[in-house]
Amino acid sequence: MKDGKKKGLDLQWQILIGIITGIMFGIFLYQVSGPGVTSGPIFLMKVFFKYAGDIFIRLLRMMIVPLVFASIYMAVVNLGDIRELGKIGGKTVAYYMATTALAVLLGLLLVNIIHPGQGIDKEALAALNISTSVPHEVSSQDVGERSAAVIIVDTLVNMIPKNPAGAMAKGDILQIIFFTIFFGIMAAVVGKESETLSEVINGLDMIMQKSVMVVMVIAPYSIFCLVTAIFMDLGLEALFALGKYAFTVILGLLIHAAVTLSLLVMIIGRYSPIKLFKAVSPAIMTAWSTASSAASLPLTMDCLTNKAGVDKKITNFVLPLGATVNMDGTALYESIAVIFIAELMGIDLSVGMQAIIFITATLAAIGAAAIPGAGLVTMGIVLTAAGMPLDGIGLILAIDRILDQFRTAVNVWGDATAGVVVGRLEGAISDSVG
């Protein structure tokens, strides 16, 4: 600022304060009221916090479709060369597939070292009334018909929309991406006659970026409400009962984020991972709070472009694609969860069977965007591939919400690292920014 006056705390610190105070307040209210409160002032507070958080998520989701359409269209038009687009797309997909495979490998390594399912307190699990029934999102028929290979084929076929307007109405990001790339290429082919349209869409892009900045003003307060509501439901009992399993998953996610992905940023991206984390930390904390890569997408794009210095032509292509197909955290979590369930059930999985889990979890995570209830259905696919009953899913649902927050944060961090790596390979990073 020209007058030298300091602004308040940076957004990432405001969000962090919201998260910490939300956790503390939520646990406090849980201890005061106990589980399953359905009336009284604390119940009303819980309802308020839930809806206040939901409003924030809806505001973020409201911007996703126009932002993805405008940003990808401008990225394609500004590239102007289909071969250049193919190069960027190929590098992006290769990076996402490689990091997902590394995540699954790390998960399998850790779970075989720690063995979280051995020595677990079965009485504590029973006291939590953990069900072993199959969630309604998953059925044996659905899983049986959808192998990992089928999911990949379905993803490729279903990304072509029958009706672009319908895809936008449903918020189907993969279909929107495909249509927008095709539309942008055709606009580049038409040339001068499409310039007016491009100016309008560029204006839309700028409006949506400004909208993100406005909505993020309420982020710290909304995230406080979201986190409070989550911990009012969860408490700490479930975490204690499944603590060894939760520790294994979170440790794996931290290693993948802080070591695997950070090394790729340093070696290939020639960029400081600390500098990158500082730039995108508001987006990562938003992803952790909302457990939604898509909801945090507008903020991730803003942070990577304006704080990390990655060219918009890279950010606008790599991040929307990553929000749908890059699921490192989910893949790692599934590889650990399947072995954990096997240990709880006393099932011994051979090296060959774990190799099948590696392949299935990698492919299923990449194709997860094509299915409703993606995480649970892909988990069912991996269990089926390992010859295990679907009942095992019920054993991990008690703390799935909190682990979902961690794996979503890692997914978003993976998207950001992809932006830097692809940006460096394309010579599209301004090191002076940030």
* Residues pairing with 310 in the sheet: 429
Counting residues of the chain whose pLDDT is more than 90, the rounded percentage is 22
**Structural tokens at position 14:** 């405001």
pLDDT at res. 37: 67
* Least confident range of 60-64, 179-183, 380-384: 380-384
Domains of the chain: 11-80+90-425 (1.10.3860.10)
Asked if pLDDT for residue 383 goes beyond 70, the answer is yes
pLDDT at res. 7: 58
The candidate with the shortest Cα–Cα distance to 365, out of 293, 270, 266, is: 293
Confidence of residue 372 (pLDDT cuts 50, 70, 90): very low
* CA–CA gap between residue 199 and residue 208 (Å, rounded): 14
pLDDT (tens digit per residue) in 325-340: 888 998 899 899 888 8
Helix H or strand E encompassing 143: helix 140-145
Better-scored residue on pLDDT, 303 or 40: 303
Mean pLDDT within 72-93: 81
Mean pLDDT within 128-149: 48
Q: At what angle do helices 312-325 and 82-114 cross, to 10 degrees?
A: 40
Are 223 and 19 in contact by the 8 Å Cβ rule? The answer is yes
* CA–CA gap between residue 412 and residue 1 (Å, rounded): 31
Mean pLDDT within 94-105: 93
Q: At what angle do helices 195-215 and 40-79 cross, to 10 degrees?
A: 150
Q: At what angle do helices 82-114 and 173-190 cross, to 10 degrees?
A: 160
pLDDT at res. 344: 79
Mean pLDDT within 30-34: 78
**Structural tokens at position 8:** 């308040």
Cβ-proximal residues to 317 (8 Å cutoff; 6+ apart), any chain = 72, 75, 76, 85, 88, 89, 92
Asked if pLDDT for residue 8 goes beyond 90, the answer is no
From residue 320, how far is each of 45, 81, 103, 242, 417 by CA, in Å? Answer: 35, 20, 21, 34, 14
The candidate with the shortest Cα–Cα distance to 154, out of 139, 170, 174, is: 174
* CA–CA gap between residue 303 and residue 322 (Å, rounded): 15
Are 232 and 40 in contact by the 8 Å Cβ rule? The answer is no
pLDDT (tens digit per residue) in 165-209: 998 888 777 788 889 888 988 888 888 888 889 899 989 888 987
Counting residues of the chain whose pLDDT is more than 70, the rounded percentage is 81
Mean pLDDT within 2-7: 48
* Least confident range of 162-171, 372-381, 409-418: 372-381
